[in-house]
Amino acid sequence: MIVLKTDAEIDAMRAAGALSAEILDKVEDLIKPGITTLDIDVFVHEYTIRNGGIPAPLNYRGFPKSVCTSINEVVCHGIPSSKVKLKEGDIINVDVTSIIDGYFGDTSRMYFVGSNILPVARKLTEVARSCLFRGIKQVKPGARVGDIGHAIQSYAEKQGFSVVREFVGHGIGRTFHEDPQIAHYGQPGKGTKLVEGMVFTIEPMVNQGHWKTKVLKDGWTAITIDGGLSAQWEHTLAIKSTGEVVILTESAKEISTRPVV
């Protein structure tokens, strides 16, 4: 069941989206070799609370921390830990979801640790971001979920990478994950029709090697099956009653570097 939102409800979702985006702006200044993923968690937790939000991941289906931190071959849902230090050359996804006034705003970005980044890691990160915006470009009333998936999959594969199948984007609102599911692969013209009032995420995970993933014994951490790198970017989007598409989780800083696709 898809919960459509009024324009007033979409406006009410802006606060959560803006806080999540602001947190990711601030996380950029924190990322350097030697910090731990727990340092990122503590920052996200405290900044969220200090600004009137609730960190949605904390205790969500038993997730133990306030943010997901996914390094290199970790595809998603990495659990922050005092034992995991960022090192020169790592690529890391930080996935923040804040709740304000009962509404969720979900967004993630990639960061480079230090400046000594492998060319393939840079390319993968850029391709994943471009995939997100190619997906966003498909969003309009009357389009289909398959149009989004196809735009993402065809570009990622043309660049020599693969698209994760096991995790998808999702409707979002007063709950973290709602219908519809937004697969990042698919066929044009297929799948659920997009209509005014839909609010959902697009969050492609793009792998260097095979698309398959496996979940570690902690029950959360998803890694690539072949140990190759993985990159992900995520936004929360809304389709207003006018048909206008708005990105609820894009900061001014991020708009200024938005890729042209």
Interaction site with ligand MF3 (CB under 6 A): 57, 60-61, 63, 68, 77, 95, 97, 106, 201, 203, 220, 234
Q: Residue 73 binds which one of ligand MF3, Co ion, none, with CB within 5 to 8 A depending on kind?
A: none
Site for Co ion in 55-114 (CB under 5 A): 95, 106, 108
Q: Residue 57 binds which one of Co ion, ligand MF3, none, with CB within 5 to 8 A depending on kind?
A: ligand MF3
Under the binding rule (CB under 5 A), the answer on residue 37 touching Co ion is no
Under the binding rule (CB under 5 A), the answer on residue 201 touching Co ion is yes
Q: Count other C-beta atoms under 10 Å from residue 160's C-beta.
A: 11
Fill in the DSSP letter of residue 80. P
- Interacting span for Co ion (CB under 5 A) from 23-31, 140-148, 201-209, 211-219: 201-209
- CA distances (Å), 131 to each of 60, 68, 136, 154, 203, in order? 28, 21, 9, 9, 9
Cβ nearer to ligand MF3, comparing 57 with 186: 57
Structure tokens at 8: 């007033």
| Residue that the structure tokens 């993402």 belong to | 152
What b/e string do you get for 86-99 counting C-beta neighbours within 10 Å, with b at 16 or more?
beeebbbbbbbbbb
Sites of contact with Co ion (CB under 5 A): 95, 106, 108, 201, 203, 234
